[in-house]
Amino acid sequence: MNSEQTKSNNSALYTLITVFFFWGFIGASNGIFIPFCKAKFGLDQFQSQLIDFAFYGAYYIGALLLFIFSSIAKKDILNGWGFKKGIIYGLLISTFGAVLMILAVTQGSYLFILGALFIVALGFSLQQTSAQPFAASLGEPHSASSRLNLAGGINSLGTTIGPIVVSIALFGVIAGVNIEEFAQKPDSLDSMRILYVFVGGLFLLAAALFHFSKKLPSGKSDSTFETANKAMQTLIAITVILVAIFAYIFSRYEDAEFITRFIENKEKDYLGLGLTVSTLLVVVIGLFFANTTAQKNPEGWGAMKYPQLVLGMLALFAYVGVEVTIGSNLGELLVTADFGSISGPALAPYMSMYWGSLMIGRWAGAITVFNPSSQLKKILLIVVPYVAFGVVLAANAISGQDVTPLYAYAFVILFQIAGFFLGKDQPSRTLMIFGLMGMTAMLIGLFTTGTIAIFAFMSGGLFLSIMWPSIFSLAIAGLGKYTSQGSAFLVMMILGGGIIPPLQGKLADIIGIHASYFIPVLCFAFIAFYGWKVIGILEKQGIGKEIEVGGAH
């Protein structure tokens, strides 16, 4: 590769990583937007969590539609376009979603806001499916992992500053704003309109940069498309059932008697909880059915005949679900008296530190890419997390927030550092250790209050940080010609971010927001189980060595 081509590809990479930044920025900022919308539109906790359902459900729908259309055409549609065009099309869809969001906040319609957010994330789904292999193609194969880790680190930077920017956009930098009083102001959504004008402009600018960079490769892979009609039919069936359940749930909120009984009179909606639990069961039972049936007759099931993939899909579902639900429900938790009655812009540092915790872990996880000596690596595993911690504190301090309550969080980071040393660069071992640590942290948060509980729940980000690449690499191990298909199925499991937060939200409406955090305990427990179980599965298939961890989500 000549120097001119290298410069062009580096330019493309620098543009590409802005796309990773967008995903993190918008997704993490939902943690501020959810409690605001709850107060603005008079929602219960379940209704407010529909923001996550719309956002992360779009990832699933987008990936599923691409798979269905490719199956019908019997060719990989995205590969036919090229990853570069896939990213451009995704950015244009997100731009359209940003325009709709401007109209939605102008009209002050919550349903319109959900629809607009769905379109933004639908574009993200196409970008996500295109961007990671495109980043890998922009250079020599041996350096692909470093490019993916760079992109993952920028994604985490977006998750860190997203809550800060949205908090400033909504509330300004004035401390002590009461979120409920502020939300009732007629012009309280005006600043969100300005924010999405800016965000939409960035989407359009990024698309233009890609389009007019004529010397850049189109980014196509040599892999062939493998059909899996039975897997496709199962995924369609799961989707139809999920849509039917949520459509019925939505219809209940159109009933005036329901609203009076369960929202205004604060009655407990056990039927709603049962329906929401059923959405989780549909996914779990559907995937286990697919794998069990495929073991008996693999024809037509494609990658779903591999147990490491199906269990990995559920693990990734749990990972995205717990990552999103901790952050999305944290705002509601912190406004309670037991957690300091923190609200408005004062929420931003805590939200930022939770999402920043993922950045802390991902920066540390990227150290191996640069092949440091054993001694230097040990030093960096201690130093790098605290450098990232300093970046999070600095970002909040610059925005005018009081970060002194977060200084003591430096002690919590020691547990993550210990986890890296115990994991010994083995993804299954690291996944199991971090899963157990995350489960322990959630239990500590459940049985305490105040600063200890807040730090325990925020530390979930530290232990989640390495899970995407670990689960992904283990799930696609040994898939051979079905690797590309398995990767597409795994991307669909971002759906967990649209199912688990509403489930916790509905549970919170019945048993209280604090007690509802036993949902993350279960998620971490399953992830730890997968880390323990998957190696036995791979060994039975003759895959005796660990899989190298790749880039982060």
What pLDDT is stored for residue 463 in this prediction?
92
Tokens of 500: 């688990």
Decide: 72 and 64 in contact? Cβ < 8 Å. Answer: no
Model pLDDT, residue 186: 72
At residue 175, the pLDDT reads 46
Q: What is the mean pLDDT of residues 123-127?
A: 85
Amino acid at 204: L
**Which residues have CB under 8 Å from 540's CB, separation 6+?**
none
Whole-number pLDDT of residue 9: 61
Cα separation of 190 and 443, whole Å? 40
Record the tokens describing residue 440, joined without a space.
């322990």
pLDDT recorded at residue 142: 45
pLDDT (tens digit per residue) in 413-446: 999 999 888 887 678 888 999 999 999 999 999 9
- Predicted confidence (pLDDT) per residue in 174-204, tens digit: 445 566 666 667 776 777 788 788 888 888 8
Please say whether the beta carbons of 447 and 343 come within 8 A: no
Q: How high is the pLDDT of residue 235? A: 92
User: In this prediction, what percent of the chain has a pLDDT beyond 90?
Assistant: 25
- Say what the pLDDT of residue 214 is: 64
Task: Note the pLDDT of residue 552.
Answer: 40
User: Among 141-155, 220-234, 274-288, which stretch is predicted with the lowest mean pLDDT?
Assistant: 141-155
User: What contacts 321, CB < 8 A, 6 or more positions away?
Assistant: 496, 497, 499, 500, 501, 523
pLDDT digit string, tens, across residues 267-296:
788 888 898 899 999 999 999 998 889 888
Residue 43, pLDDT score = 80
Provide the 8-state DSSP code for 402: -
Q: How many Å from the N-terminal Cα to the C-terminal Cα in the chain?
A: 28
Let me know if residue 3 belongs to a domain.
Answer: no
User: Does residue 24 lie within any of the structural domains?
Assistant: yes
- Rounded Cα–Cα distance for residues 100 and 97 (Å): 5
Of the pLDDT bands very low, low, confident and very high (cuts 50, 70, 90), residue 3 is low
Does residue 149 register a pLDDT over 70? Answer: no
Residue 553 has pLDDT above 50, yes or no: no
So what's the pLDDT on residue 124? 85
- Rounded Cα gap, residues 531 and 433, in angstroms: 8
Query: How much helix, strand and coil, in percent to the nearest 5, is found in the chain?
Result: 80, 0, 20
The kind and range of the H/E element at 122 are helix 110-137
Tell me: the pLDDT tens digits for 297-332?
A: 888 888 888 999 999 999 999 999 999 899 888 888
| Cβ proximity of 49 and 508 under 8 Å | no
- Cα separation, 277 vs 155, whole angstroms: 31
Place of tokens 């390495």: 466
CA 381 – CA 552 distance, rounded (Å)? 17
Spatial neighbors of 78 by CB under 8 A, at least 6 apart, are: 66, 70, 86, 126, 129, 130
Measured between alpha carbons, how far is residue 430 from residues 119, 426, 547 in Å? Answer: 36, 6, 12
Q: For residue range 473-520, list pLDDT tens digits in order.
A: 788 888 877 877 887 888 889 899 889 998 998 899 889 999 999 999
Q: Is 251 exposed, middle or buried (0-12, 13-18, 19+ CB in 10 A)?
A: exposed
Tens digit of each residue's pLDDT (9 = 90 or more) over 5-28 = 555 566 667 767 777 777 777 776
345: CATH: 1.20.1250.20
Q: What Å distances lie between residue 475 and 295, 309, 485, 532, CA to CA?
A: 16, 4, 12, 13
CA distance 269 to 12: 51
Amino acid found at 221: S
- Which residues constitute the domain of residue 412? 11-216+223-257+266-296+307-543
Q: How far apart are CA 485 and CA 221, in angstroms?
A: 13
Residue 469 domain-assigned (yes or no): yes
Neighbour count for residue 515 (Cβ, 10 Å): 12
CB 415 within 8 A of CB 459: yes
Q: What is the average pLDDT value for the chain, to the nearest integer? A: 81
Is 389 among the domain residues?
yes
Structure confidence at residue 215 as a pLDDT band (50, 70, 90): low
Q: Are 437 and 521 in contact (CB under 8 A)?
A: no
DSSP 414-461: HHHHHHHHHHTT-HHHHHHHHHHHHHHHHHHHHT--HHHHHHHHHTHH
Please state the domain count of the chain: 1
- pLDDT of 160 reads 73
Residue 237 has pLDDT above 60, yes or no: yes
Q: How many CB atoms lie within 10 A of CB 529?
A: 18
What's the Cα-to-Cα distance from 97 to each of 37, 90, 192, 203, rounded to whole Å?
Answer: 18, 11, 14, 10
Domain annotation covers residue 5: no
Q: Is residue 429 part of a domain?
A: yes
pLDDT value at residue 158 = 78
pLDDT, greater one: 410 or 77:
410
Give CA–CA dist 483/476, Å, rounded: 6
In a domain, 549, yes or no: no
Residue 548, in any domain of the structure: no
544: pLDDT strictly greater than 60:
no
